[in-house]
Amino acid sequence: MWTIVSALKSELSPLFSYFPVLEKLSIGGGAYYRSEFIQMVRAGVGRDNVRQVLDVFLNRNHPDLVLNIGLAGSLKPENEPGQIFYIREVLHETAKIAFNLPKLVSGLDLPAARLLTVDKAVTESGRRDRLHKKRHVELVDMEAYFLAQKCAEKGIPFCSIKIISDMANQETQKVFMGNYQEKSQMLCAVLRPFLPKGTDKKYK
């Protein structure tokens, strides 16, 4: 069974209408949602939350695939909110090891990008531009690297698909709060037909 992991519930909740939740459990600071065809996990934001939740979940489960979905900031000024990318490589701003990620969602044709996971949100254009220039990455988030790291430790295939929510600048918080639900719905709408037993039929 596939497991879809996000940082926020809002990044998963658009899927609930298509994959009705049969069981919900708390996992540390996160949550687990079981449907008939997929599992969904809210891991929370940042290193500590992700490691705690994934430790508990993966000690009890061994999914066929972990797919990380969610919102990301853009470090590349040419990008625009709403663009969706496969992540081909994920790095951390201080770690020496990077993880190359495969395309594991068959049939979904998306451009590829490199993603940098940071410990502190990028909300200033000067820092954004320095990270882009130094690390040659297009996107930024706060959890994908730790998810990739934990899956690598457990020998579980991992991939990540992100939608740009903001431009990682002084307007980030305002823009994010204004569009995170819309962008989450956009991403889930693109993904849904390619998920196990994906359907255009909503359940009520």
Q: Which carries the bigger pLDDT value, residue 158 or residue 28?
A: 158
Evaluate if residue 101 carries a pLDDT over 80: yes
| 74-88 confidence digits (pLDDT tens) | 999 899 999 999 999
CA-derived radius of gyration, the chain: 16
CA dist 187 and 56 (Å) reads 27
Query: What span, in angstroms and rounded, lies between the C-alpha atoms of 184 and 109?
Result: 18
pLDDT per position as a tens digit, 112-168: 999 999 999 999 999 999 999 999 999 999 999 999 999 999 999 999 999 999 999
Tens of pLDDT along 50-79? 999 999 999 999 999 999 999 999 999 899
Backbone angles phi, psi at 53, to 5 degrees: -65, -45
Whole-structure pTM value = 0.94
Sequence-distant (6+) residues with CB within 8 A of 111 are: 83, 85, 86
Concatenate the DSSP letters of all residues of 75-137 into one string.
SSTT--TT-EEEEEEEEESS-S--EE----STT----EEEEEE-SS----HHHHHHHHHHH--
Band of residue 202 on the pLDDT scale cut at 50, 70, 90? low
What domains, with CATH codes, occur in the chain?
Answer: 2-194 (3.40.50.1580)
Percent of the chain's residues with pLDDT above 90: 91
pLDDT at 197: 81
CA–CA dist 1, 37 (Å, integer): 7
What is the DSSP secondary-structure string of 44-86? -SSHHHHHHHHHHHHHH---SEEEEEEEEEESSTT--TT-EEE
Residue-wise pLDDT tens digits, 169-201: 999 999 999 999 999 999 999 999 999 986 555
Token pair, residue 189, equals 């709408």
Would you give the end-to-end CA distance of the chain in angstroms?
23
CB 129 within 8 A of CB 103: no
Can you tell me the distance from the alpha carbon of 165 to that of 75, in angstroms, rounded to the nearest whole number?
11
What is the amino acid identity at position 105?
Answer: V
Using CA atoms, how far residue 79 sits from 26, 190, 195, in Å, is 36, 19, 26
What is the rounded CA–CA span in Å between residue 14 and residue 91?
Answer: 28
- Quick one: pLDDT at residue 158? 98
